[in-house]
């Protein structure tokens, strides 16, 4: 069973509400519809392999108090959260660390964090609670069905070896209309990323995440947001094309930004 840790930075926090912990997996597999079922596997066995086959828990055993992407990426992501996440929501930050990219000025009802390093998560000021779980060992999230308005996964999806099962679990815990925002750049712990990701390009990685969503019955068609790094010297590029790209906010001048976003469909899908 999972242990939920209250954030030590928030000592006034009440104990973990029983509602978020789903020890009996209540509500799982009891749905009449096919919503949430995995329609097909996206990855072949070979695509799930990692160069470093040692346990992920060992790899993340020591805290890394670093930021994994640059300021341009983070401000694009925070703005996206500002647009898509409403105040008062309950949010799960999957594969999180010691930093939060949520807008500071917005108050959410509850932010739960998940990751592999408890020391990092304990330093994340936005989390009310956190839990540690290796999603490559086991994909069940011991959380109530339909209990979150949003799930976030930042610069981490490339490490999932069973993404189809994880995306199906995210679907289960989202409320109808809830959103899953998966963002990434081109940086990665190469040895720990799955081969389907390592061997890919920016374009194919976006397509991969789109397919992770599409393989679960009941997600809406994903939205894709791309903000590509300006080529070197583009600051001086006065061509109309470059000017228009910058005006439209399609060049970032920093780490490339990709986000794939889908919602748990309001409409039930029947067999």
Ligand X SMILES: C[S@@+](CC[C@H](N)C(=O)[O-])C[C@H]1O[C@@H](n2cnc3c(N)ncnc32)[C@H](O)[C@@H]1O
Q: Which residues sit at the interface with ligand X, rule CB under 6 A?
A: 56, 60, 68, 95-97, 99, 115-117, 134-136, 154-156, 159
Q: What is the dihedral angle through the alpha carbons of 44, 49, 55, 58, rounded to the nearest 10 degrees?
A: -130
Q: Which is nearer to ligand X, 101 or 218 (CB)?
A: 101
* Residue 74 beta carbon to ligand X: minimum distance, rounded to whole angstroms: 8
State how far the Cα of 235 lies from the Cα of 247, in Å rounded to an integer: 13
Nearer to ligand X, 117 or 211 (CB): 117
| Backbone angles phi and psi of 235, in degrees to 5 | -60, -30
Phi-psi region of 126 (alpha: psi -120 to 50; beta: other; left: phi over 0): alpha
Q: Which is nearer to ligand X, 35 or 135 (CB)?
A: 135
Which residue shows structure tokens 């993340």?
60
Question: Which residue's CB is nearer to ligand X, number 145 or number 156?
Answer: 156
Beta-ladder partners of 153: 94, 182
**Distance between CA 262 and CA 119 in Å, rounded?**
31
Residue 259 Cβ, how far from ligand X at the closest point, in Å? 13
Of the pair 16, 118, the CB lying nearest ligand X is at 118
Nearest distance in Å: CB 198, ligand X: 15
d(CA 34, CA 135): 24
When computed from its CA atoms, the radius of gyration of the chain, rounded to whole angstroms, is 19
135, 57, 50: which is closest to 92 by C-alpha? Answer: 135
Q: Please report how close the Cβ of residue 223 comes to ligand X at its closest, in angstroms.
A: 20
User: Which residue has the closest beta carbon to ligand X?
Assistant: 115
Rounded Cα gap, residues 96 and 153, in angstroms = 7
**Cα separations in angstroms, 198 against 29, 46, 56, 115, 194:** 34, 12, 17, 22, 6
Shortest CB 77 distance to ligand X, Å: 8
Q: In terms of CB distance, is 56 or 70 closer to ligand X?
A: 56
Report how far residue 131's alpha carbon sits from residue 23's, in angstroms, rounded to the nearest whole number. Answer: 14
- Closest distance of CB 205 from ligand X, Å: 15
Least Cβ distance, residue 31 to ligand X (angstroms): 26
CA–CA gap between residue 232 and residue 12 (Å, rounded): 49
- The first and second tokens of residue 93, run together, are 């930050």
CB of 195 to ligand X, least distance (A): 15
Compare residues 35 and 141 and give the one whose CB is closer to ligand X: 141
Residue placing its CB nearer to ligand X in the complex, 54 or 243: 54
């Amino acid at each position: 069973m999972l242990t939920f840790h209250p954030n030590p930075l928030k000592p006034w926090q009440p104990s973990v509400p029983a509602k978020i912990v789903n020890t009996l997996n209540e509500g799982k597999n009891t749905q009449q519809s096919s919503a949430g079922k995995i329609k097909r596997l996206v990855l072949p066995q070979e695509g799930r392999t990692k160069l470093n086959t040692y346990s992920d828990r060992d790899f993340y055993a020591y805290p890394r108090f670093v930021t994994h992407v640059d300021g341009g990426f983070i401000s694009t992501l925070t703005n996206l959260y500002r647009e898509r996440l409403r105040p008062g929501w309950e949010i799960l930050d999957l594969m999180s660390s010691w930093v939060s990219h949520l807008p500071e000025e917005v108050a959410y009802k509850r932010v739960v964090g998940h990751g592999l390093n408890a020391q990092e998560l304990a330093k994340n000021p936005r989390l009310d609670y956190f839990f540690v779980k290796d999603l490559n060992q086991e994909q069940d999230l011991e959380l109530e069905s339909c209990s979150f308005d949003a799930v976030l996964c930042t610069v981490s999806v490339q490490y999932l070896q069973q993404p189809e099962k994880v995306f199906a679990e995210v679907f289960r815990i989202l409320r109808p209309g809830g959103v899953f925002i998966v963002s990434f750049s081109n940086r990665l712990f190469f040895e720990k990323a799955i081969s389907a990701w390592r061997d890919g390009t920016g374009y194919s990685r976006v397509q991969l995440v789109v397919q992770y969503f599409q393989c679960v019955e009941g997600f809406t068609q994903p939205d894709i947001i791309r903000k590509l790094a300006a080529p070197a010297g583009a600051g001086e590029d006065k061509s109309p094309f470059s000017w228009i790209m910058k005006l439209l906010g399609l060049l970032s001048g920093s780490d490339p930004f990709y986000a794939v976003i889908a919602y748990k469909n309001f409409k039930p899908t029947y067999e």
